[in-house]
Amino acid sequence: MMAALRHFFSGLTGRLLMSAVLLSIAALISGSTVLSFVFRTYVVSDVDTRLELFLDTMVGISEISPDGVIRFTRPLSDQRFSTPYSGLYWQISEQGQEAFRSRSLWDFELASQPEHRSFSIKYMEVEGPDGQSLRMAERDIILPEGERIFHYHVAMDTAEINAAIQQFNLWLMGALSVTMLVVTAALVLQVRYGLKPLRRIGENLSRIRAGKESRIEGSWPHDLQPLAAEINALMEQNEQLVNRARTHVGNLAHAVKTPLSIIQNDVEGQNGERLVRIRKQTRLIREHVDHHLKRARIAGGGSGAGLPIHERLSKLVRAIEVMTSDRGIMFSLDCDESLRFDGEKEDFDEVLGNLIDNAGKWAESRVSVTAERIIEPNQRSMMKICVEDDGTGVPESELDTLFERGKRLDELVPGTGLGLAIVRDIVEMYGGQAVLETSEYGGLAAILRLPAKDA
């Protein structure tokens, strides 16, 4: 689980999502802090305004009675001033006198420091009755009736404010959480949509590896175009390297062959321990050269348009017919003109050339080559090619061993014995199959399954 998560977040999608989500969380947290602060400021200033209003009213209705006691000409309209511990309080203090208080304060007295004179309004937080914490406005007032200074207080319980702020924060969190979810979902979509061309390049690459295409083609977003171009250039370079390596191997092998012919001819038919050894070693060199040269040539890839096999088979049959013409063997070819091999011409020629040539060497009087498409539902398009002769054939028990490297049934028939091994290697490289059976004509039947190109 952890490993899977780590894997996801180390990927491109994970990284993009992770960074975007973290950034948006940070933005939302700072945004909500600011919003919450602004709301609190607004609520507090609203309370302050109301407190100032009460204070002004109190001053407006204050008078000093003839017996020198401060009193109101009429009661304050808000009922909460008369309900004990209601959360709304007033108090008028005078230095040296008992404070004149609202009924709501009951037996509590607001902390007052009348000695600190302030004729402008001041706000503060103080402790109230019943453990309440209060927002209080206070101001010193000199009433017109005399030279006495009264200290006016109006206080309100902040529980109400805090409740409002809490409510607000709750809503805010809710709204922000929803926003987060929506934004994350949008990000996922965005990342998927944004990375889609990358995925397409990936799919394209795997098609190229499967040999279905040779280059990344089509139009790409302008910022991916350089990547596509670079990949194409890299593939071209790679192809050139492979071709160069192949050419070098080929050149080396071909250059070696003429001197090898000369050595072989010089020591041929002569006796003596050393000459026999030289002969054996030159034959080994020759076999190695042939083996590696042939394998280096295998292309093993699909070809764009497919190879029309009727033409190739006719040419091969005609060529082998010419080479065996003194033996008067009948070659027959039965192949659909539209059949195409999904691969390289050189590989096809190598496989069928070897098989038909073998059949020609062993045949008594006839060689038959047939090719047909195999219909298999939901499968890759395949074809079956059958090369048969009417020679002496091979015992069933030895059929399987024929594909082994260097295996030759009869050392007298010319050939290096690599033919069938290379046939199998090439066929397998294309994901096909090569099977040997006994032909209905009595000789050997080589049956191939090779990938076909859809018409």
Could you tell me which residues are beta bridge partners of residue 155?
A: 89, 136
Residue 286 sits in the site that holds another protein (CB under 8 A): yes
- Binding status of residue 310 toward another protein by CB under 8 A: no
Reference 301, options 429, 423, 163, 202; nearest CA is 429
**Contact between residue 304 and residue 340 where contact means Cβ atoms under 8 Å apart:** no
Strand arrangement of the beta sheet that strand 366-374 belongs to: 330-335, 366-374, 382-389, 444-451, 433-438
Which of residues 80, 257, 373, 408 is near another protein by CB under 8 A? 257
For residues 339 and 354, give the distance between their C-alpha atoms in angstroms, rounded to a whole number: 20
Pick the closest to residue 153 from 98, 102, 85 (CA basis).
102
Cβ neighbour number for residue 368 with a 10 Å cutoff:
21
Check binding of 358 to another protein (CB under 8 A). Answer: no
Which of 154, 156, 316, 363 touches another protein (CB under 8 A)?
Answer: 316
Closer residue to another protein, CB minimum distance, 351 or 386: 351
Distance CA 380, CA 452 (A): 8
Residue 412 interacting with another protein (CB under 8 A)? no
Residue 266 identity = D
The residue written with tokens 């001197």 in the block is: 259
**Residue 413 engages another protein in binding (rule: CB under 8 A):** no
Q: How far is the CB of 250 from another protein (least distance, A)?
A: 8
Judged by CB under 8 A, the residue of 297, 361, 424, 453 near another protein is 297
- The secondary structure of 134-145 as a DSSP string is EEEEEEEEE-TT
Give yes or no for residue 242 binding another protein (CB under 8 A).
Answer: no
Binder of another protein out of 128, 302, 343, 353 (CB under 8 A):
353
Residues 219-238 that bind another protein (CB under 8 A): none
Closer to another protein by CB, 23 or 323: give it: 323
Any contact of residue 350 with another protein (CB under 8 A)?
yes
H helices then E strands: how many in the chain? 9, 14
CB of 266 to another protein, least distance (A): 8
Number of residues that bind another protein (CB under 8 A): 35
Q: Any contact of residue 258 with another protein (CB under 8 A)?
A: yes
CB of 299 to another protein, least distance (A): 11
Q: Does 349 bind another protein (CB under 8 A)?
A: yes
- Least distance to another protein, CB of residue 258, Å: 5
The reply on whether position 295 binds another protein by CB under 8 A is no
261 binds another protein (CB under 8 A): yes
DSSP states of 327-366: GT-EEEEEE-TT-EESS-HHHHHHHHHHHHHHHHHH-SSE
Rule CB under 8 A: is residue 266 a binding residue for another protein? yes
Angle (nearest 5°) at CA 86 between 82 and 92: 60
The helix (H) or strand (E) run that includes residue 432 is none
Point out which residues bind another protein (CB under 8 A): 253-255, 257-258, 260-262, 264-266, 268-269, 282, 286, 290, 293-294, 297, 315-316, 318-319, 322-323, 325-326, 345-346, 349-350, 352-354, 414
